Amino acid sequence: MARSKMIFLARMKEQQEEEKDEKSMKKAKTNKKRKRKRGLLIKCHKELHLSQQLNLLLVLLPNLTSNALLVDAKDEVEKINFSITVVANCDMKKQQYLFEAIHGSSVATYASSVATFDSYVAVHGSSVATYASSVITFDSYIAIHRSFIETYASYVAIYGASVAT
């Protein structure tokens, strides 16, 4: 009796340990998925002015993980050599700020104007494509009616010959 209780308790312990192992494995998998979703957004190696560094830090602070920002400080006061790896989910506005902080606002403005032009082309390109397809349809319409007219002309030629006969 006592032996069967011991065997039962041993099996229960093993089952509990297996359940704990399964739970820990599930947690590890979800943690890996979360890390993968964040991904590497930006990896750059630049020399930045102090104003740009401040802008960059203001943008990045909410998105940083513990080892995301690596700074190699040199003796220079004006410049610091940044090696930045941002691990974050960053919306478009923050990405634009980040771009401005690294490259300067004029480049970012140019990039946004190019993006606007691309979206304009995307919108108006569809109307051009529609116009082109309507022209093609019209051409095929003309081709069909031309063949009809040619058929009619040959019919007249045949009928005219029979009348002449």
Q: DSSP secondary structure string, 28-45? A: HHHHHHHHHHH-EEEEEE
Res. 17: pLDDT tops 80:
yes
2 part of a folded domain: no
Domain boundary among 77, 103, 129: 103
Residue 160: its pLDDT value, please?
61
The most confident of the ranges 20-24, 67-71, 103-107, 138-142 is: 20-24
pLDDT, tens digit (0-9, with 9 covering 90-100), for 98-135: 555 555 554 445 555 555 555 555 555 555 555 555 55
Residue 9: its pLDDT value, please?
73
How many structural domains compose the chain?
2
Tokens of 97: 């700020």
Distance CA 67, CA 92 (A): 23
Domain boundary among 50, 68, 103: 103
Tokens of 123: 């919108």
**Residues 126 and 150 grouped into a single domain:** yes
**Residues 54 and 99 grouped into a single domain:** yes
Residue 11: its pLDDT value, please?
77
20 part of a folded domain: no
Q: How confident is the model at residue 43 (pLDDT cuts 50, 70, 90)?
A: very low
Structural domain range at position 46:
37-103
**Residues 43 and 79 grouped into a single domain:** yes
Average pLDDT over residues 35-56: 47
**Residues 95 and 114 grouped into a single domain:** no
Among 25-29, 71-75, 102-106, 108-112, the least confident range: 71-75
59 part of a folded domain: yes
Domain boundary among 103, 121, 145: 103
Average pLDDT over residues 29-50: 47
Residue 66: DSSP 8-state:
T
81, 150, 151, 160 from 163: Cα distances, Å: 98, 20, 18, 5
Q: Which residues contact 84 (CB under 8 A, 6 or more apart)?
A: 42, 43, 44, 45, 46, 56, 60, 68, 69, 70
Higher-confidence residue of 67 and 131: namely 131
**Residues 110 and 56 grouped into a single domain:** no
The pLDDT > 90 percentage for the chain reads 0
Q: Which residues contact 87 (CB under 8 A, 6 or more apart)?
A: 38, 39, 40, 41, 63, 64, 65, 68
Q: Is residue 42 a contact partner of residue 98, using CB atoms and an 8 Å limit?
A: yes
**Residues 75 and 60 grouped into a single domain:** yes
Distance CA 3, CA 151 (A): 105
**Residues 98 and 125 grouped into a single domain:** no
Residue 12: its pLDDT value, please?
77
Q: Is residue 63 a contact partner of residue 89, using CB atoms and an 8 Å limit?
A: yes
21 part of a folded domain: no
**Residues 125 and 94 grouped into a single domain:** no
Alpha helices in 40-104 (DSSP H): 50-60, 92-103
